[in-house]
Amino acid sequence: MDVVLLSRLQFSLTIAFHFIFVSINIGLAWLLVLVETLGWRTRDGEVYVEAAKFFGRIFAVTFIIGVATGIVMEFQFGMNWAGYSRFAGDVFGPLLAAEGLLAFFLESSFLGLYLFGRNRVSRGIHGFSILMVAAGSILSAFWILAANSWQQTPAGYILRKGRLELTSLWDAVFNPSTLHRFFHTVDATLIVASFFMGGIAARLLLKNKKVEMAKKSLSLAIVIGLISSVLQVVPFGHEHAKEVARTQPEKFAVFEAVYETQSHAPMVLFGLPSATQPGLRWAVEIPGLLSWITFGDASAIVKGIKDFPPDELPPRVIPFLAFHMMVVLGLYFVGIMLYGAVQLYRDKLWEGRRFLRVFVWSIPLPIAASQLGWIAAEVGRQPWIIYRVMKTADAASPSLPAGNVLSSIMLFGLLYSLLGIFYLYIVMREMN
Residue 276 has pLDDT above 70, yes or no: no
* CA atoms of 66 and 22, how far apart (whole Å): 6
Residue 230 is predicted with a pLDDT of 97
Helices (H) and strands (E) counted in the chain, each on its own, are 15, 8
Residue 112 has pLDDT above 70, yes or no: yes
Task: Give residue 275's pLDDT band: very low, low, confident or very high (50, 70, 90).
Answer: low
Number of domains in the chain: 1
pLDDT, one tens digit per residue, over 404-415 is: 889 989 998 999
Whether 364 is covered by a domain: the verdict is yes
Whether 357 is covered by a domain: the verdict is yes
Task: Give residue 3's pLDDT band: very low, low, confident or very high (50, 70, 90).
Answer: confident
Query: Ramachandran region of residue 394, left (φ > 0), alpha (ψ -120 to 50) or beta?
Result: alpha
Residue 39 has pLDDT above 90, yes or no: no
For 67-101, b/e burial (b = at least 16 CB within 10 A) is bebbebbeebbeebbbbbbebbbebbebbbebbee
Winning range, highest mean pLDDT, from 8-12, 193-197, 411-415, 424-428: 193-197
Residues of the chain with pLDDT > 70, as a percent, come to 98
Measured in whole angstroms, the distance separating CA 12 from the mean position of its chain's CA atoms is: 13
Provide the whole-model pTM: 0.94
Residue 283 is predicted with a pLDDT of 74
Whether 274 is covered by a domain: the verdict is no
Q: Shortest CA distance to 176 belongs to which of 247, 241, 236?
A: 247
- DSSP 8-state assignment for residue 121: S
Residue 177 has pLDDT above 90, yes or no: yes
Q: Cα dihedral sign for 406, 412, 415, 418?
A: negative
Residue 18 is predicted with a pLDDT of 92
Element (H, E) at 384: strand 384-386
Residue 53 has pLDDT above 90, yes or no: yes
pLDDT, one tens digit per residue, over 125-147 is: 999 999 999 999 999 999 999 99
Average pLDDT of the chain is 91
Residue 278 is predicted with a pLDDT of 67
Residue 370 is predicted with a pLDDT of 96
**How far, CA to CA in Å, does 345 sit from each of 133, 276, 387?**
32, 51, 48
Task: Give residue 277's pLDDT band: very low, low, confident or very high (50, 70, 90).
Answer: low
Task: Give residue 285's pLDDT band: very low, low, confident or very high (50, 70, 90).
Answer: confident
Q: Compute the radius of gyration of the chain from its Cα atoms.
A: 23
Residue 50 is predicted with a pLDDT of 92
Q: Cα dihedral sign for 76, 92, 317, 311?
A: negative
Q: Which domain holds residue 199?
A: 3-261+303-431
* CA atoms of 401 and 199, how far apart (whole Å): 45
Task: Tell me which of 421 and 103 has the higher pLDDT.
Answer: 421
Whether 59 is covered by a domain: the verdict is yes
Helix (H, G, I), strand (E, B) or coil at 270: strand
Residue 67 is predicted with a pLDDT of 86
pLDDT, one tens digit per residue, over 55-75 is: 999 999 999 998 888 888 777
Whether 377 is covered by a domain: the verdict is yes
Outline where DSSP puts E strands in 102-204: 157-160, 163-166
pLDDT, one tens digit per residue, over 203-234 is: 999 999 999 999 999 999 999 999 999 999 98
Residue 404 is predicted with a pLDDT of 86
How many CB atoms are closer than 10 A to CB 220?
Answer: 20
Whether 56 is covered by a domain: the verdict is yes
Residues of the chain with pLDDT > 90, as a percent, come to 66
Q: Shortest CA distance to 93 belongs to which of 105, 82, 101, 85?
A: 85
Whether 363 is covered by a domain: the verdict is yes
**How far, CA to CA in Å, does 22 sit from each of 64, 84, 140, 166?**
10, 25, 10, 29
pLDDT, one tens digit per residue, over 311-370 is: 999 998 899 999 999 999 999 999 999 999 999 999 888 888 999 999 999 999 999 999
Residue 270 has pLDDT above 80, yes or no: no
Residue 432 has pLDDT above 80, yes or no: no
Whether 391 is covered by a domain: the verdict is yes
Angle at 196 between CA 186 and CA 207, to 5 degrees: 165
Residue 71 is predicted with a pLDDT of 80
Residue 55 is predicted with a pLDDT of 95
pLDDT, one tens digit per residue, over 299-308 is: 889 999 999 9
* CA atoms of 128 and 113, how far apart (whole Å): 10
**How far, CA to CA in Å, does 348 sit from each of 122, 207, 222?**
38, 18, 14
Task: Give residue 110's pLDDT band: very low, low, confident or very high (50, 70, 90).
Answer: very high
Q: Cα dihedral sign for 111, 115, 120, 126?
A: positive
